[in-house]
Amino acid sequence: MEEKYRDITLDELTDLCIRRGIVFPSGRIYGGLAGFYDYGPVGVELERNILNDWWKWFVETRDDIYGIDGAIITHPRTWEASGHVESFIDYIVTCTSCGAEYRADHLLEEVGVKIPEYSLETIKSLIENNNVRCPACGGKLSEPRKFNLMFDTQVGPRKSMTAYLRPETAQLIFTNFKNVVFTMGATLPFGIAQIGKAFRNEISPRNFLFRLREFTQMEIEYFVNPEKLNECPYFKEVEELRVNFLSAEEQERGVSEAKSIKLGEAVETGVIKNAWHAYWIGESLRWLWSLGLRPERLRVREHVKTELAHYAVQTFDIEYFFPYMGWKEIEGIANRSDYDLKRHQEYSGEALHIVDNGKTVIPYVIEPSFGLERILLAVLTDSYVREERRTYLRLKPRIAPFKCAVFPLVKRDGLDVKAREIYNQLKKHFRCYYDEDGSIGRRYAKADEIGVPFSITIDGQTLRDDTVTIRFRDTKEQIRERVENLKARLSELIATL
């Protein structure tokens, strides 16, 4: 039995993604542009499958969530009301010797300095007191200064209005709240979901797909009567789930290891302040587990007070343990209270309330916010398997970029003609690809490395009895199946594995 180990370095993963057409640095022929990546032919299929799976799980199979697709550029007052114009900032420092620019809190984290309060004065004193220097040349750093992360642009030929590329998709949901309630007859509790691009002018994008300037968010804003935050009819579905949990109180005591706790217990003890918040934590974890992410590599970490956003009552991150980065957020689940709707109501003059059982209320919002690229990075990391003679991605068939590959054993004796015939039938039902070049071993290796769960091989026996081999990616086991039964058998395998 060959020894398997699944940890991969970030350099190895980056090489795999570029070599196998998963992602490419954007503008690579010009040297690339930091923080921007293009999906290749394999990656775009994987991306689409994850997005579609999320939409099916959280929107299509539910009656209480409606979808929208908001504009990337919207009225700039949106971002004034949300607080982004004023406070969507990081602190930047510049090396006085080489001119390199860095995000100040990242430099402090890299030298092991904890930041008790995210303010200009605190950052400044921590850099001075710890003698933090430029990582590139050792030069002295400038005083930190504010840097707004929004990309701005001009609307119209006369540049009469400054607008912004949206830094998040959430605000488009809030500004469409009234439209959705009116057109769909929505009643509390209900949610609005959106998938779309967001843009943040990160000071120092890094770690491949983890911190980007252009990325995709999958977000739900779930609206609940503030007097009914513990009246969640779905809570029984998740209350017995055990999760790896790290509370704010434990972190403030210096605890860094998560402990196993049932979500029901977390609500009973007040660690999670309401049942709706706990439900969305549980439902998010169920989806992430269904993608194949190992439960022991996921934890729920509560934001400490200094991390809490200005709009949040309580926030939890679902973090994945990346072997090359440690614990990092792949989803945030915030109790945003009624902050956003009240702010947009104030700035727009439009009433953004709803009637619930005869009483007018401005709902509270529970927000599960998923980062596609971070989840994709976690899925690739977690599914990577390396053996003595091969590597493969143990992707769930339903999200694999191709469900099967079709290979003639050799490109002669009519095997290629028969293989093309079978491929042309299968591609009507599954996303698959055909390859007849190189040795069969080399073709299997390529299919394994991009996570194709099943390889269909047409050999001499196929011409005699109309059977083919189905090769299983994870075990390399091969079975024979009649061509007439192939579609049904593959459908069964994809659905059950």
Hey, what amino acid is at 287? W
Half-sphere exposure of 109 (CA within 13 A, CB side): 8
For the chain, the structural domain boundaries read: 10-83+160-384, 89-148, 402-496
| Per-residue pLDDT at 2 | 46
Average pLDDT on 196-205 reads 94
Tell which residue, 41, 43, 64, 61, has the closest CA to residue 53: 61
CATH topology of domain 402-496: Rossmann fold (3.40.50)
- Residue 376 near residue 47, CB atoms below 8 Å: yes
| Per-residue pLDDT at 5 | 52
CATH topology of domain 89-148: Herpes Virus-1 (3.30.40)
Average pLDDT on 375-403 reads 96
Cα-to-chain-centroid distance, residue 463: 46
Q: 274-293 pLDDT, tens per residue?
A: 999 999 999 999 999 999 99
Task: Inform me whether the pLDDT recorded for 56 exceeds 50.
Answer: yes
Mean pLDDT of the chain: 95
Q: Is the domain covering 10-83+160-384 a CATH 3.30.1600.10 domain?
A: no
Q: 367 — phi, psi (to 5°)?
A: -120, 105
* Residue 83 φ/ψ region, left for φ over 0, alpha for ψ in the -120 to 50 degree band, beta for the rest: left
Task: Inform me whether the pLDDT recorded for 4 exceeds 60.
Answer: no
Average pLDDT on 94-122 reads 88
Q: 436 — phi, psi (to 5°)?
A: -125, 5
Task: Inform me whether the pLDDT recorded for 470 exceeds 80.
Answer: yes
How many other C-beta atoms are found inside a 10 Å radius of the C-beta of residue 341?
Answer: 24
Tell which residue, 302, 317, 339, has the closest CA to residue 221: 339
Global pTM value: 0.93
